[in-house]
């Protein structure tokens, strides 16, 4: 049985949101893991780097770069490729992913303002823990983007590799 289009659209939104969060935190995540900024070609902003987004107007999950759309998977194709169990799993991961992202987003700006070296070190450790947990959630969701039929390039592969460390 094919799930209702509203359910598929919600799952596509979650997948697109997860990719968008990766794009937002990628530079900082890479730098925390590797001790240096990512190479220019591995940035979501790089000329030929693809990003994944939900495109409700097209009823599709799309990958695009600065030149335009590279690929897409329609909601109908998504419904055929993801099982109901996959969709429940994605929705469950979304709740955890959102919680970790909100924690990280609230705490990260305070790091620059922290003058006390001990409190700063504790905050850095806490941010690393939250970032690692968030990365594991996001990496799991990347697998479903691949299962849906979109190819992961560049920074998504690097992100998943770093999240596994």
Confidence check: pLDDT of 18 > 60: yes
Report domain extents, the chain.
Answer: 5-163
In this prediction, residue 111 carries a pLDDT of: 87
Contact 57, 165 (CB under 8 A): no
Structure confidence by residue, pLDDT tens digits, 63-111: 999 899 999 999 999 999 999 999 999 999 899 999 999 999 998 889 8
Is the pLDDT at 2 greater than 70, yes or no?
no
The 8-class DSSP code of residue 58 comes to: G
With the C-alpha atoms ordered 155, 12, 76, 91, is the resulting torsion angle positive or negative?
positive
Computed over every residue of the chain, the mean pLDDT equals 91
Tokens of 145: 């983007």
- pLDDT computed for residue 42 by the predictor: 83
pTM listed for this prediction: 0.90
Of the candidates 1, 145, 165, the residue with the CA atom closest to the CA atom of residue 78: 145
Torsion (CA) 110, 113, 25, 137 in degrees, nearest 10: -30
Q: Enter the tokens of residue 41.
A: 């070609």
Phi, psi angle pair for 107, to nearest 5°: -85, -35
Q: What is the dihedral of CA 107, 112, 114, 120, to 10 degrees?
A: 70
* Element housing 64 (H / E): strand 60-65
């Amino acid at each position: 049985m094919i799930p209702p289009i509203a359910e598929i659209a919600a799952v596509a939104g979650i997948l697109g949101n997860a990719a968008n969060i990766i794009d937002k935190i990628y530079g900082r995540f890479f730098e925390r893991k590797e001790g240096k900024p990512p190479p220019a070609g591995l940035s979501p902003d790089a000329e030929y780097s693809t990003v994944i987004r939900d495109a409700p107007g097209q009823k599709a999950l799309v990958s695009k770069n600065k030149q335009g759309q590279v690929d897409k998977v329609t909601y109908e194709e998504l419904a055929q490729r993801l099982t109901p169990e996959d969709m429940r799993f994605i929705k469950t991961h979304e709740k955890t992913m959102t919680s970790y992202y909100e924690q990280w987003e609230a705490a990260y700006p305070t790091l620059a303002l922290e003058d006390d070296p001990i409190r700063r070190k504790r905050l850095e450790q806490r941010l690393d823990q939250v970032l690692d947990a968030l990365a594991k959630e996001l990496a799991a969701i990347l697998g479903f983007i691949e299962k849906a039929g979109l190819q992961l390039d560049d920074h998504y592969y690097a992100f998943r590799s770093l999240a596994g460390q």
